[in-house]
Amino acid sequence: MKPLNIILAAALLGTSVSAIALGDEHHAKKTASPVKKEQKNWGIAGDAKDVKRTIELTMNDTMRFTPDRIEVRQGEVVKFVVKNAGKTLHEMVIGDKKTLDEHAALMVKFPNMAHDEPYMTHVAAGKASQLIWNFNRAGDFDFACLIAGHYQAGMVGRIKVVADGKASASAAPSATAGFIQAQSTAPANGMTAAPQADLSEAEVRKIDKENKKVTLKHGEIKNLDMPAMTMIFEVSDAAVLDELKVGDKIRFRAAAGGNKLMANDIQPARR
């Protein structure tokens, strides 16, 4: 590893040790739930029954993946067995460079944010995890660890998906596909009213009332300069989660305070 990368990683990690520790706790408690499949430029979530190939991949504290170059055929459903041989939390996130760059920048800005997508897996030190992905689109893609300091230190790998004329790929939706467009209605179920201009749209994916958390697939959050993705937010009052169920379309105000991302002023999406 180059000395400059070592220095950069150490500097960044030194400022976010507590953040990484908290992130480990957040990721380790993720509960299993059905995966909602959505087409991405780099593929779509795969099913275990369709796996044709298993690839073992190791992450370590030198900020490297082994192997860091992978080639698959278009249409292959691959199970990654991802092992963390290091002493700190690492993750594997598949994507294109633009998406990974954006997410990495957000991780530096919000080191405790907990993202939750089927194309990523977070692995505690000394543990292993699995990720199943259907590479139904040809092209050159990346995988990376986006924890603050790790991506900047070069913890990136490459995936080449070789075109196969027999494989088919569905059209990719826009980043905010499926979100309800704003129309006029009043909030219901006792949810808080709020000025509409600074609210973001989302779909409820998971509800964790015990820990006052909700997983939202949200559109762009302009006030935080955050692109569309799936994130775990905290709420100040668990009672608001009684008004929600998985699949609900909502609007909410996102806020960042201390080490938390908060979902405030939750209300039904306008119909």
Domain that holds residue 219: 173-271
Strand partners, 129: 82
Q: CATH code at 73? A: 2.60.40.420
H or E element in which residue 44 lies: strand 44-45
Answer whether residue 126 is part of any domain. yes
DSSP 168: -
Strand partners, 133: 45, 78
Residues in Cβ contact with 246 at an 8 Å cutoff, skipping those fewer than 6 apart:
204, 205, 206, 207
180-200 confidence digits (pLDDT tens): 333 333 344 444 444 455 789
Rounded to an integer, what is the distance from CA 117 to the centroid of its chain?
4
pLDDT over 70, % of the chain: 73
Q: Which of 162, 192, 212 is the last residue of a domain?
A: 162
Answer whether residue 168 is part of any domain. no
In this structure, the answer to whether residues 139 and 182 fall within a common structural domain is no
Least confident residue range of 73-87, 143-157, 242-256, 257-271:
257-271
Q: Please indicate whether residue 110 or residue 144 has the higher confidence score (pLDDT).
A: 144
C-alpha 150/C-alpha 143 separation (Å) is 12
Instruction: Return mean pLDDT, the chain.
Output: 78
C-alpha 128/C-alpha 93 separation (Å) is 15
Contact 232, 259 (CB under 8 A): no
80-116 confidence digits (pLDDT tens): 999 999 999 999 999 999 999 988 888 888 877 777 7
C-alpha 121/C-alpha 36 separation (Å) is 16
In this structure, the answer to whether residues 139 and 184 fall within a common structural domain is no
Angstrom distances, CA of residue 181 to CA of 2, 38, 189, 260: 49, 19, 20, 28
Q: What's the domain count of the chain?
A: 2
- For 145, the 3-state DSSP assignment is coil
Residues in Cβ contact with 16 at an 8 Å cutoff, skipping those fewer than 6 apart:
111, 148, 149
